[in-house]
Amino acid sequence: LEKAAAARAKPVNAIMPRVLSELRIDRRRIEAEVARVWNDLLDPNIVRHAQPVGLKKGTLFVNVDSSVWLSEIVRYRRKEILDRLQHSFGREFIARISFRLG
């Protein structure tokens, strides 16, 4: 019985990459880093009204708490926000931002 259990046992370093992948730890760590940089890098007025909620295939999704702020950000601040984030993370990582009411 001990020999059978030993034959099935695998070293932790052989299974951890798969476990972490299934838990999406890297993705969650990156999203947390984007949120941290967002809070430190942008105007506090924007931070109070808009927060990143996800990142998928180069698009950062941001929820904005009111239509007034959504309009303000999309019309006047989108380019500035995108430029700052691209400077911090690179153009291939954050290619565009999608703002939505939420």
- pLDDT value at residue 43: 93
Determine how many CB atoms are found less than 10 A away from the CB of residue 54.
Answer: 13
Do 48 and 35 contact (CB within 8 A), yes or no?
A: no
Span 18-32, mean pLDDT?
73
As a whole number of angstroms, the distance between CA 76 and CA 66 comes to 15
pLDDT of the residue at 61: 96
- Average pLDDT score, the chain: 87
Looking at residue 37, what is its pLDDT?
92
Of residues 95, 98, 88, the one with CA closest to residue 38: 88
Please report, in angstroms and rounded to a whole number, the separation of the first and last CA atoms in the chain. Answer: 57
Summarised one tens digit per residue, pLDDT across range 28-74 is 787 888 999 999 999 999 999 999 999 999 999 999 999 999 999 99
